[in-house]
Structure 1
Amino acid sequence: MTSINTLSAEDEHAIRDLVSLADRSQADPAVLPGLHTESTVIVNFYGRRLFGRDTFTTAMSAALGSGLGDVRTSVEIIDVRALTADAVLVSCVKTVHDQRPGAETTPPATGALTYVVVRTSGGWEIGLAQTTPIASA
């Protein structure tokens, strides 16, 4: 018999708060990596894979020191669903706001962002973040 995993309202609220904090902290290497598990996997818009929080921290700091420091994104949660009692799939739409002088928005202005959020001893953390560009029509 298959059971459907459900989230408590408290857990869903905590997960939505986590995603919101991650969105607000995208330019803060002192905050954003700490929202991820030690063994996190990040796959960015370009398909670059980062394995582990330390690698993510290093890559984020380098990106913020380059022209990418003027590229921001905003995230809208589309769906939150439990996979297990301790793992949740969060589907989002990410929108790119390229604030570099004279820049055109490439890759596409939007992407499908998927998080796998896991319950740890410290609360909910991001175990995986994967962004896939959404082709414009």
Structure 2
Amino acid sequence: MNRQSDEDRIAAIRQVVADAEKYQNDPEPFLALHTAETIIVNIAGRRVLGRDALRAAMTAALASPLAQVRTRQEIVDVRFPAPGVALVSCTKHVSDDRDAVVKDASGAGLPKSGSLTYILVEEADAWRIALAQTTPIMAS
């Protein structure tokens, strides 16, 4: 592939990551960014298997104080290990605006950042998220 096509692919992938951030509290456009068989492991270690399970988990989270947790992704690296597959390394920044009493009562404080890895696959019409795995970065 030529340099221009790599640049175009990277631009499309950057847009998917930007859209995932933009739509993190808007289920339908967020879910459309994912493959049907997507796997998500969030910063708290919860694993969700498939877009339907992601819809249920997202709906429940948005109906809870977790709706006040926002994230921002910063792309560090994009690699293409095989045709139609992209590995995207990001730093995830977490803004946990839940009430301190809620966080303390649940013991559910979240790390302020994580290492996020996406695997994106190129489908017929767009790049989609097949895997999103976040590993917390512990404060030192």
**TM-score (normalizing by structure 1):** 0.91
Q: Which runs of 5+ in 2 are unaligned?
A: none
The CA deviation string for residues 23-47 of structure 1, in whole angstroms up to 9 with x for no partner, is 1110111211110000000011121
Compare 92-101 and 36-45 and name the one that shifted more.
92-101
- Distance of 2:99 and 2:43 partners within structure 1: 21
The CA RMSD measured in Å over matched residues stands at 1.7
Report the Cα distance in structure 2 between the residues aligned to 1:111 and 1:17, rounded to whole angstroms.
20
Q: 2:40 maps to what in 1?
A: 42
Equivalent position of 2:123 in the other structure:
120
Structure 1 partner of 2:81: 83
**Runs of 5+ in structure 1 lacking a partner?**
1-6
Q: Which of 98, 101, 117 is the aligned partner of 1:100?
A: 98
Q: CA deviation at 1:100?
A: 1.7
Q: How does 1:1-137 map to 2 (within 5 A)?
A: 8-102=6-100, 106-137=109-140
Distance in 1 (CA, whole Å) between partners of 2:119 and 2:28 is: 21
SS of residue in 2 equivalent to 1:96: strand
Correspondence for 1:4: none
After TM superposition, which residue ranges in structure 1, 4 or more long, deviate above 6 angstroms?
Answer: none
Q: Distance in 1 between matches of 2:114 and 2:31?
A: 21
Residues 96 and 110 of structure 2 are in contact (CA less than 8 Å); yes or no, is this contact kept in structure 1?
no
Superposition deviation, residue 108 in structure 1: 1.4
**Alpha-carbon separation, structure 2, partners of 1:78 and 1:13:** 14
Higher fraction of helix: 2
User: How many corresponding residue pairs?
Assistant: 132
